[in-house]
Structure 1
Amino acid sequence: MGSIIRLKPELIEKIAAGEVVERPASVVKECIENSIDAKATRIIIELKRGGKEEILVRDNGTGMSREDALLAVERHTTSKIAGLRDLFAIKHLGFRGEALASIAAVSKLTIVTNDNPNSNEATRVMVSNEGKHWETAAAPRGTTVVVRQLFYNTPARRKFLGSDVAELKHVLNIVTRYALAYPNVGFFVKHNGSEILSAPPTPDLKAKVSHIYGKDIAKNMLRVERSGTIKVEGLVGVPGIARKSREYQSFFVNRRYIKSQLLTEALESAYKTLLFLERKPVAVLNLTIDPSKVDVNIHPTKLEIKFDDEDAVFSEVHLAVKEALESNVLIQKQPSKQGVLAKVLSQTKPQSTKPQQLEVSTQAMLVKDEPRLKGIRILGQIAKSYIVAEDTQGLMLVDQHAASERINLERLQNSKMTLGKQTLLQPILVTPPKHQAAIIKHNLEALKELGFDIAEFGQNEFIVREVPVVFKQNVTKELLNELFDEIAQNIKKTPRGLVNEEIVHTMACKAAIKANQELSLKEMEDLLNELLGCKLAYSCAHGRPTIIRFTVKDLERLFKRR
């Protein structure tokens, strides 16, 4: 007897389901796409324990007949495509005919649906390991999908799900994307009975951004519109609201949410030097393309896409964003021809100074023990960002922000999370985006342990009266918004919630002296003195160097004296 066997149908179904359903957010995504394809204008999502216990998605779409509902839970059944030709010009969000069958394979699934606008007679279909059956029910036109005990029959998959808050964040991430893609559709989310997101339908994308991310972001968004063989439209943020992550970037192709490195690069290249290092622009962009020119059938999750002409797509997105920035006088229009000086410089080859030798020497000096300011003389400050000092061995360059960050980090770590507080002269009202407010609310006690006096102040608003003593600079609303933004993004699967090294690192960075901040001689001496007293003085919380040294020999080599 051979060693190759045919897999049983139930095993095949569970393997296939693993490609489509990864977590509660995958279920919500598939249901939302079906609702939108059914022309729904109102979609309600209700979750219990982040969707791990129960997920309910209700819409007011066209619904299904009894026959269609019973067939829809079978694998490879769909109303979206009929033949091979349709596969190469997909016009719907769903088309693979796998979603409901995959969900049913790893959960207890119930569907209540009605396709008659003049009657409340509906069909309830129930599917589980025991099979499927149906009964008559009462419900208005539309469809309600209820998914209970996700991965109850695949415990290994269930074990790898995150905390309730982590899974909720993934769900909100998907919901907010589709709320932005379809501003004319209302999206409403409840978690454990409490409403955490309300984004009513509106014809204006900027109004929907206001509902999702808040008024401060919405009022700083610029309209993008460029038409051609590829139409690019949407909103991009002014540089002042740029973020440290790409969480606020949403790309859609024919209003399908996708992830694309190509589109990310096209967007960010348009900003050039407008953004500080590691800052990412805010953007909501939709590309309307001939469906035959894109391939969305790359992966069952349908998040990846291939373009026939990637160069054209990159160019159109880049130009659309650049034109929006130029029209708002945020960047200067560049002449089409090079100036004389630019031509000369581009043709001049710089002479090598053997930087590799200097780099080796510099890195080697980073691990040597330093005396505490004894024999060290402060020479000044470069660009209000770097402290220049001299000792018997040569020259020291100190990154003042990285140095301050290292000092704050060790203070926080040595405090064992029992931090002193300082009262703000005036309380600050913080309004994070709705999808992040739930995460902040869930971790209020942890924030208080870290030294914040923070409390709810109305729906999705928080009032801050006290902050940890490590915040020496002027604490502003912008600083707190940015801090809580990063905290919400850095939630980890840990029973300690926010009280973990990653959050402490974020606080150390946000409370640090900034680049482009002028320091007095005493302030520079104090900073260097504290830095050299740290256990790990030579790198900041993110691993970047705090001190770079040039020995006398390094300088002689640079000036070609050696």
Structure 2
Amino acid sequence: MSDIIQLLPDHVANQIAAGEVVQRPASVVKELMENAIDAAATHIKLVVKDAGKTLVQVIDDGHGMSATDARLSFERHATSKIKSADDLFSLNTKGFRGEALASIAAIAHVELKTKRSQEELGTQIEIEGSEIKAQEVTVTPKGTAIAVKHLFFNIPARRNFLKSNTVELRHIIDEFHRVALAHPDIAFSMFHNGSETFNLPKSNYRQRVVNIFGVKTNEKLVPVEEETEVLKISGFVGKPEFAKRSKNEQFFFVNNRFIKSPYLNHAINSAFDGLLKDGSHPSYFLNLSVDPKTIDINIHPTKTEIKFDDEHTLYAIVRASVKHSLGQFNIAPVLDFERDRNLDTPYDYQNKRASTPSVEVDRNYNPFQEEQNFNKRSLAKPFKKESAQWESLYVGMESKGTKTGSNFSQVEFESQPESQGLFNDASAESRQTTYQLHNKYIISTIKSGMMILDQNRAHQRVLYEGLLRSLTVREAVSQQLLFPLQLQFSTSEMEVLQELKEDLEHTGFLFSEFVKGNVEITGVPINVAESEVAIILEQLLSDVQQEVPDTNFSAMDLMAKSMAKSLAIKTGQSLTRMEQEHLVNSLFACKEPSVSPTNRVTFITMSVDDFDKKFI
């Protein structure tokens, strides 16, 4: 029997490696931008077309490469970052695997232009599916410009698994945020389909956060600074009142590398314990500096998860640092119950002396003099003239009554005939058919026994079908606001709202301004209060970013679900008898009354036999 184990060809091995390295266009953006940072670039430009499916280009002004280095960079396990295994435990760079460019070149058309500062001419290389098509000398500025075109052109199955442009662009923006936040000392810019999405100048960390997430973010930030022998923490956390329903503004950076750490995230949530509403998540932008020898960053293909040597100590330090910052800036509640902050001396008056108030008295004031004048004026008024005017209103009434011969001794009243009830039950009108239990459930009697209805889920189903009908028919009614409502959103949130704008208008929202970071709303749906608009849009953005819809139908369906969840009657809300009956009738007028929009049961029934069994 012949041998069956054989070595894979390089292009096949590269395609397999690409499955771990390159999952979507955002993975290419991450790898290329990290390489540009390692090349000591001061300005990095990202150009994207069709959400990265057609083109991902990164241009930097870093060191550049020689002709030999440019050719070797596309070979597997080629890197300038490590030389021995010991270097893996003292890494201060990003692109150290030596697989990124080789994997990208295996599944795309790649064009590389690079030049070092001391050379007059640069190098241009063109690769298609790991095959080098051309290498020649070219004129190019200092640095490196690498363009990745037609991603997954030779793997149609992988290309078919890519999501819609909206979803893929959102992933690219997320990766751009992670890299840009970790390096505020580098200028970044991003262009999508020819339009500028971000332009981030070189700045400090606070300005970088504000430039990415909007001007309003500045007032939400609380600085966190702590330095110990084990860990150095710097950055910001968001004030509790500005907590969001999504986790889009949660960033951990360890040695300038973005990571995901549920363990440290729990430390932040523990520090905010008692300060947040249910379902809200705090915002944080924290940089952790630790000894590279105490962490292992080579445990995950994307390097977003790392292993700490002493996680318990880091947990305690992070939690204590955040809690200290919240208390230091008067964010945490004061434990002095006797203190009334309304009685605190304002800053403007702390150094001023108290002045004795002066009292001025009018010694000529006589209150009895005015009362005497009033009595004299009232006595002088002729009551006879006024009474004569009242008597004139009834002139002719007596003669008219005598003339017609009618008086008030015989009076007839019109009355409607009494309608007979269906069952001739005198107490039918007073009988109550619905009851509310603990402001959560509605109990209604039925022929076979009793029905128990969850008021929140039932109302979600009613609203969901109504909103879906409005989105489909596109005939929603809107109410105008007396004063337009101004709302602030980040650039990534504006991208999502731009996609949902048309569908939102079909539900009743009216927008008069839709520019960078600012949204002006002039009309809202008739069943939406002005104070709920910001909550609804925030919940909608959170649901869209988490569920990631792919088609227009699913986007409309998700929007209807999100708005129904925000507008539905909450648990704990008391309902009148009429409201209870209306909710029950509206639920059973729906197409699918038995389940909520999220496929959860809306009501259960219990028969009389079930009750009889309980008393056996």
Q: How does 1:116-155 map onto structure 2 within 5 Å?
A: 116=117, 121-129=121-129, 130-131=131-132, 133-155=134-156
Aligned to 1:357: none
Q: Answer with 521-530 or 407-416: which moved more.
A: 521-530
Aligned counterpart, 1:87 = 88
Alignment match, 2:504: 447
How do residues 98-109 of structure 1 correspond to structure 2 at under 5 angstroms?
98-109=99-110
**How far apart are the structure 2 equivalents of 1:544 and 1:235?**
39
Q: Deviations over 1:516-535 (max 9, x none)?
A: 76766655554455446555
Q: How far 1:257 sits from its partner (Å)? A: 0.9
The aligned amino acid for 2:208 is K
CA offset at residue 493 of structure 1?
Answer: 1.5
- The C-alpha deviation readout for 1:234-262, integer Å capped at 9, x for no partner, is 21112222222322211111110112221
After the TM superposition, which residues 99-498 of structure 1 pair with which residues of structure 2 at under 5 Å, given as runs? 99-116=100-117, 121-129=121-129, 130-131=131-132, 133-203=134-204, 205-228=205-228, 229-332=230-333, 375-378=432-435, 386=440, 401-415=456-470, 417-418=472-473, 419-425=475-481, 426-454=483-511, 456-471=513-528, 474-496=531-553, 498=555
CA distance in 2, matches of 1:307, 1:333: 35
Q: Retained in 2: the 8 A contact 1:226–1:233? A: yes
Q: Secondary structure at the match of 1:471?
A: coil
| Distance in 1 between residues matched to 2:149 and 2:477, nearest whole Å | 45
How far the C-alpha of 1:51 sits from its partner, in A, is 0.5
Match of 1:143, as an amino acid?
T
**2:510 matches 1:509:** no
Describe the SS at the equivalent of 1:251. strand
Provide closer, same or farther for how the CA distance between residues 334 and 79 of structure 1 changes in structure 2, counting only shifts above 3 A. farther
2:346 corresponds in structure 1 to none
* Superposed displacement of residue 482, structure 1: 4.3
C-alpha change, 1:488 and 1:96, in structure 2 (3 Å) is: closer
1:385-436 deviation digits (Å, cap 9, x = unpaired) = 6467686999998765444323211322455622422123133333321122
User: Secondary structure of the residue that 1:69 maps to in structure 2?
Assistant: helix
More divergent stretch after superposition (422-431 vs 174-183): 422-431
- Go from structure 1 to structure 2 and tell me whether the alpha carbon gap of 1:78 and 1:374 turns closer, same or farther (over 3 Å shift): farther
SS in 2 for 1:331: coil
Counterparts of 1:549 and 1:221, CA distance in 2: 51
SS at match of 1:417: helix
Does the CA contact (< 8 Å) of 2:470 and 2:476 recur in 1?
Answer: no
Residue 540 of structure 2 contacts residue 559 of structure 2 at CA under 8 Å; is this kept in 1? no
**Is 1:126–1:133's contact at 8 Å kept on the other side of the alignment?**
yes
- Residue equivalent to 2:378: none
Identity %: 36
**What CA distance in whole angstroms lies between the structure 1 residues aligned with 2:251 and 2:28?**
20
Corresponding letter in the other structure for 1:449: H
**2:100 counterpart letter in structure 1:** A
Amino acid at match of 1:407: V
Q: 1:544 to 1:315 in 2, by over 3 A?
A: farther
Name the CA distance, whole Å, in 2 between partners of 1:493 and 1:171: 16
Q: Which moved more, 1:424-433 or 1:304-313?
A: 424-433
Counterpart AA for 1:438: E
Checking the alignment, whether the CA contact within 8 Å between 1:436 and 1:485 is kept in structure 2 is: no
TM-score, length basis structure 2: 0.75
AA at the equivalent of 1:510: S
Q: What is residue 340 of structure 1 aligned with on the other side?
A: none
**Partner of residue 12, structure 2:** 11
In the comparison of the two structures, how many residue pairs are matched? Answer: 517
Describe the superposition over 1:2-56 as per-residue Cα deviations: whole angstroms up to 9, x where unpaired.
3323222221111112111111100000011111112222211111111011111
The answer on whether the counterparts of 1:196 and 1:438 sit within 8 Å (CA) in structure 2 is no
Between 1:33-42 and 1:416-425, the stretch displaced more is 416-425
8 Å CA contact 1:491, 1:497 repeated in 2: no
Give me the whole-angstrom Cα distance separating, in 1, the residues matched to 2:495 and 2:485: 19
| Greater Rg over alpha carbons, structure | 2
| Structure 1: stretches of 5+ with no match in the other structure | 336-372
Alpha-carbon distance in structure 2 between the residues aligned to 1:469 and 1:11:
59
Give the 3 Å change call, closer, same or farther, for CA 551–294 of structure 1 in structure 2.
farther
Q: Would you say the 8 A contact 1:74–1:101 is kept in 2?
A: yes
Label 1:132 to 1:310 Cα distance change in 2 as closer, same or farther (>3 A).
Answer: farther
The structure-2 alpha-carbon separation of the partners of 1:184 and 1:527, relative to structure 1 and needing over 3 Å to count, comes to farther
| Highest RCO, 1 vs 2 (Cα 8 Å, sep ≥ 6) | 1
Indicate conservation of the 8 Å contact 2:47/2:190, yes or no: yes
How much has 1:478 moved relative to structure 2?
A: 5.0
SS in 2 for 1:274: coil
Tell me the C-alpha RMSD between the 2 structures: 3.4
What's 1:351 paired with?
none
Per-residue deviation, residues 168-224 of structure 1 (Å, max 9, x unmatched)? 111001001122222222221111111122222211x23222222223333212112
Quickly say closer, same or farther: Cα 1:549–1:497, change in 2 above 3 A.
Answer: closer
Cα drift, residue 74 of structure 1: 1.4
Cα gap change, 1:252/1:551 in structure 2, threshold over 3 Å: closer, same or farther? farther
The verdict on how the C-alpha distance between 1:533 and 1:459 changes in structure 2, with shifts beyond 3 A counting, is: same
